[in-house]
Structure formats: C-alpha cells, structure tokens
Amino acid sequence: MMKRSLFIILFVFIGVGLFAQNSKGARKAVRSGNKSYKDQLYGTAEADYRKALEEDASSKEASFNLANTYYKQQRWDDALKEYQHYLTLEAENPEKMGSAWSNIGNTYLKKKANEKAAAGGGAAMMGAAAGQQQPQQGQAKQQEDNLKQSMEAYKNALRLNPTDDNTRYNLAVVQKMIKDREDQNKDQNQPQQNKDQKQDQKQDPKQDPQQNQDQKQDQQQQQNQMSEQNMQQILQALEQDEKNTQERVKQAKAQERKKQNENNRKQNKDW
C-alpha cells in the first residue's frame, strides 16, 4: 500500500508584490494579513484580506489567502466560494490555478468528514429519544455529493498541473471511496426476489445461502471501512502538514531573532 505525506498549499502565500495592479493600500493590507495568518490569527487576517479586496477587487493574492483563512476557520462553504472567486481572477498561471482546485478538493473532503461526524451524533441523539436509530438519507446524499465534488476538483487540478502526484494520490483514494459506496448502494437496491430463493429451488446441501449472504455483507463492510480509513489518513496528513508548517514558521522566526541579536551585538562591539 502506498503511503505518503500529502502536500497542501494552504500555507503557501502568493508572493507579495507580484501583482503591480494592486493599489498601495491593498498591498499594505495583504502584508498585514499575511503576518496575522502566520501568527494563526485567522480572524484578523480575514479582516485584512477583506480590506485589501475593498481597495482592489482584482487582488488575486488577497482572494486566495482569504479563502485560506475561511478554510482554517472550518467555514467550508465560504472557502469554496472564495476559491472559486480566485479562479475568476487567475487565468494565466496553470500551477496556481491547479493549487486552488486542489484546495477545493481538500475542502470538500473536510466538509464531508465534518458532516458525517455531525450526522452520526445527531442520529445517536434521535435514536436515544425515539428508541431506535433514525435514517439519515439526506446527510448521506450530501456526503456522497461532497465526495464527487472533491473528485472533480482533483481532476481539474491535474488537468492544469499533471505533475502533481499528491493530488493524483488524493484523487485515487476518493475514487475508491466513491466506488465502494456505489457498490454498497447497488447491493442494497437489488430486488428482493433476487435475494430470496424459491421454496422449490434445489439447493446444494454443502452451501448455506444465509452464510454466503453474511460473508458478502462482511466483505462490503470491510471495503467501506478501508475507504473510511483512507479518508482519515488524508485528513490526518493534512493536519500534520499544517502542524509541520507552523513548526517551520516558529523555527524561522527563532532564527531571525537569533540573527538580529547577533547583528546587534556586533554593532555594539564595533561601536
């Protein structure tokens, strides 16, 4: 089984100053937002990026980073909307466009996981109150839609950047999850007459139909469990990437402070 850490570009800002059309006020707000973002002050960063977009609605940098702050605050719908807005601004750089689509895929995947957790908690409460587990067909349909949206986003990312192996891996996992769900639905929707055997049908005494059916259900459950484990591996990898990036930022700041202190000591000595 292929194991790898997944790369997510949520922390990779589009470089400040790359877009000359941005106003001075917009650039200043973006720089302030970048600093707040690196300090994990996502609400403050959001306000700065919003201000930058008010100054210059065409700021690609502000739009992309604003979407990132929504993602960090688990505001999935807002993040998706802003990534889509960014794609209306960026039409020249395939790699950056691919990064946005990859983030869209990650967002749908996170959204799916959160909705599943919320649906599970709600179903348990309803079951306790009514004495039985209540069906959650609406939530299941929404989770399935999120998986398919994630798959399409990853495909778009690869069309723009075919060398992105990490997105390719994510796509393969999501496609496997979708296939397993479709297989499960297919088994559940089989006509009852195909499952029941007629009384006059000859049966092999060595073969237990009920046992075969139980084995098939066990196999399907194992496949679904593997798919859910794959999704959890992706989400855990995304979270680990975020932690690693935060640690690198802290180390960079520490090195910068150390270098500044050394320069100050050198200047004092020369003086």
Phi and psi for 13 in degrees, rounded to 5?
Answer: -75, 145
pLDDT score, position 261: 73
Residues 31, 43: contact at Cβ < 8 Å?
no
pTM of the model: 0.64
* Residue 41, amino acid: L
Give CA–CA dist 32/52, Å, rounded. 10
Which DSSP symbol is given to 92?
S
* pLDDT score for 7: 43
Q: Is there a contact between 49 and 65 (Cβ–Cβ < 8 Å)?
A: yes
Model pLDDT, residue 140? 72
Q: Do residues 70 and 104 lie in contact, with contact meaning Cβ atoms separated by under 8 Å?
A: no
Largest CA distance in the chain: 106
- Of 171, 114, 172, the closest CA to residue 143 belongs to 114
Domain ranges of the chain: 12-74, 93-118+138-187+223-270
Mean pLDDT value across the chain = 75
DSSP 22: S
Task: Give the Cα separation of 133 and 2 in Å (integer).
Answer: 37
Confidence of residue 182 (pLDDT cuts 50, 70, 90): confident
Q: What are phi and psi of 67, to 5 degrees?
A: -60, -40
pLDDT tens digits, one per residue of 61-71: 999 999 999 99
Helices first, then strands: H and E counts in the chain: 9, 0
**CA contacts within 13 A on the Cβ side of 119:** 16
Say whether pLDDT at 134 is over 80: no
- Pick the most confident of 42-46, 163-167, 218-222: 42-46
- Find out if CATH 1.25.40 is the number for domain 12-74: yes
